[in-house]
Amino acid sequence: MKFRGCHYFIKRDDLINPDFSGNKARKFTHYLTHDYPHIKRIVSYGSNQSNAMYSLSVLAKMRGWRFEYFVDHIPNYLKENPHGNYLCGLTNGVIFHESKWDDTQIIPHDTLLIHEGGRQIEAKVGVKLLAEEIEEWRVGHGLDDLSILLPSGTGTTALYLQKYSPSKVYTTPCVGDSTYLRSQWSALEADSTLHPTILETAKKYHFGKLYKEHYELWMGLKRETGIEFDLLYDPIGWRAIEEQKPPTPLLYIHQGGLLGNMSMIPRYQRKYGN
Ligand SMILES: *Cc1c(COP(=O)(O)O)cnc(C)c1O
């Protein structure tokens, strides 16, 4: 696609499957395909509109597992007007517990714990497949060099993509800063030469906060390319590209998350009007 005069390749992981898509589908591939005869239940925790929570609710439904999800706080507004990932989670039978996740609790034998955002070693199974698909495409198109960029939350997808890809992987922290991202990576992969390359935006953004410039960039992308990106991570990824201009040809990974836009768009409208 072409955007503001530059050419990009887009990997449309948002189109994998309407219910199970984006990088959460990649990160949870292992749990979909692995044999778990003793498991009856999954437990996870995180925010009330989490993309990971929704994807896990689909996974639990497909596998016939009970899914319990711990969230610090569910605002009254959301309880009275369920929408977005929260509503779809409810529809898929998620049992929400409004209480802080206790990391010291003992996980029963029949229960699978999945950490916030799918920050798990198991994520490497599906992300490796993504790396292989990209590599096959790169070779098939005769591209000698390729840069890959994807914005990071926990950084799990970017980490395993770099581990399995011969191309250089760039990423931008969206949840914490670069120090947070490096510590997440080090917990999963000790060899820092296998870590992705960080491109920071000049301005620091608070995760989940609304920024008019994010909405404008997101809208610009939609108008010019016809592709709807996510509103939490992608505006930061695209800003990093515009500011830092990573080497081309550049492949941007659309990591899904569009259901989350159904809660982000009304928040933007409430704050800035139509
Ligand atoms: C979860 C998510 C991310 C962050 O993925 P990590 O592997 O945690 O870095 C990025 N973009 C979208 C759309 C997501 O849903």
* pLDDT tens per residue, range 2-52: 999 999 999 999 999 988 999 999 999 999 999 999 999 999 999 999 999
Separation CA 92–CA 88 (nearest Å): 6
Distance between Cα 40 and ligand 1 center (Å) = 26
Mean pLDDT for all residues in the chain: 96
Distance between Cα 145 and ligand 1 center (Å) = 25
Mean pLDDT across the stretch 200-219? Answer: 97
The answer, yes or no, to whether any atom of ligand 1 lies below 6 A from the CB of 51, is yes
Local confidence band at 261 (pLDDT 50, 70, 90 cut-offs): very high
Q: Is the pLDDT of residue 75 over 90?
A: yes
Question: Hey, what are 21's tokens?
Answer: 């898509």
Q: What is the pLDDT of residue 139?
A: 98
In the chain, beta strands by DSSP E: 2-3, 6-7, 9-12, 41-45, 66-71, 95-98, 111-114, 147-152, 168-173, 197-198, 250-254
Q: Which among 216, 41, 21, 202 has a CA at the least distance from the CA of 111?
A: 41
Using an 8 Å Cβ cutoff, are 144 and 248 in contact? no
Local confidence band at 119 (pLDDT 50, 70, 90 cut-offs): very high
DSSP letter (8 states) at residue 246? P
Q: What is the pLDDT of residue 12?
A: 98
Local confidence band at 274 (pLDDT 50, 70, 90 cut-offs): confident
Using an 8 Å Cβ cutoff, are 107 and 43 in contact? yes
Question: From the centroid of its chain, how far is CA 27?
Answer: 9
pTM for the complete prediction? Answer: 0.96
Local confidence band at 263 (pLDDT 50, 70, 90 cut-offs): very high
* pLDDT tens per residue, range 128-163: 999 999 999 999 999 999 999 999 999 999 999 999
The answer, yes or no, to whether any atom of ligand 1 lies below 6 A from the CB of 201, is no
Question: From the centroid of its chain, how far is CA 214?
Answer: 17
- Least-confidence region, from 15-19, 91-95, 165-169: 15-19
Q: Which among 99, 79, 76 has a CA at the least distance from the CA of 87?
A: 79
Question: Hey, what are 273's tokens?
Answer: 């009007």
Distances (CA, A) of 91 to 4, 18, 131, 265: 40, 15, 33, 21
Q: What is the pLDDT of residue 5?
A: 96
- Which of the listed residues 233, 234, 236 should we mutate to test ligand 1's pocket, taking the one with most ligand atoms within 8 A of CB? 233
